[in-house]
Structure 1
Amino acid sequence: MPSLRCLALILGVAVLASCGRNDLEEPPVPLGDFALGLNIVVADNVQKVPISREASVEEWEAVMKKAVEDRFGRYQGPKLYNIGISVDGYALAPPGIPVVAAPKSVLVITANVWDDAAELKLNEEGKQITVFESLSGETVIGTGLTRNRKEQMEALSYNAVKRVEEWFLQNPEWFGLPPRDPPPEGTARAAGDR
């Protein structure tokens, strides 16, 4: 029976590995009149969780700017919007004992958006977003064993900026689209929408 369990584990890992995919290869979701103006990322006050690989302020700023450009640079609307992101905290999983002590990587950012021409900030308060690396065959055992520091940072930045895009889609009126219908009374907010 041990070989049957081993086969089940291998199949499970293969299924999980197929779950992660890069949506940047697809056309962007409609976002009204949006075009990327300024792409501002600051990490001067970033906090590192004690059990973490090291990453410099400059590295975080560069990887986040690239993630913003990769996602939002695809939009070709007639109006410029400036995105500002503060990298607040992170943990990049170091190598550990698989499954038992395999910490997960995490990133916390705060995002803001401005109408460039009107010089107007569109959100009242910064949107804080916390993301983990996506679940895949290699992250089940902890990315400290399967990914280097740069790969972890890229995966976290990708996930964080995707969440920024989702936040924008929840506020279509910012980008010249009709407002979304409010959810029916008594409907719970989506997980992570806080």
Structure 2
Amino acid sequence: MPWLRFCAWLRDGCGHGFVRGNAMISSAHARTLANLAGACCLALLLGACGGGGLSLPSFSSSQPAPEAEPGVAPEMPASIRADEIVGRWGLASFQNPADRARTEAAARAQCKNPYVIGAGSSGGVIMHLADQATPQELRLKGSPTGKNYIGPSGPTPGEQDREIVSFDGRVMITRFVDKDAATRYGNMVYVRCGPKA
């Protein structure tokens, strides 16, 4: 192999016998130069093996695509439109699925003091996030799994999003994605209120 002959040549004094005239270098300098060249050769050989830790710069223009976070999808349209949930709603909550019918009746009774979901200026809806006193514009977001979410723009599902568990136009049930908020708020039941008399 040519590189082995080159390394041997460096080790043996860098062609000490081929140098003529006053151009000869001292053996101490030749040995230092040989050691330095040997270290460089070794580094290049190890780098060429691609064995892990050492990587050489690449001059290619292709770069690997950034990976998305697992379980988080890019924002996509929801199958429920914002104008379908804008309006006045009675609101109640349950933890135990057996309490759903009773909770729907309790939510319907809340229509005397309804929770209003307003239309946002950017096509979203005006609602509260968990633990926030001031409502803000949120987006309806879809996902590749077919689930719909309500939350601030960003990855789906985001920590501040709530999943729309069910929606039939008259009753909507949501649950916060954040486990702590989901435990505190439970399944939130929205029952559409009739027009004011």
Query: TM-score surpassing 0.5?
Result: no
TM-score (norm 1): 0.25
Question: RCO higher in 1 or 2 (8 Å CA, sep ≥ 6)?
Answer: 1
TM-score (norm 2): 0.25
Structure 1 or 2, whichever has the larger Rg, is 2
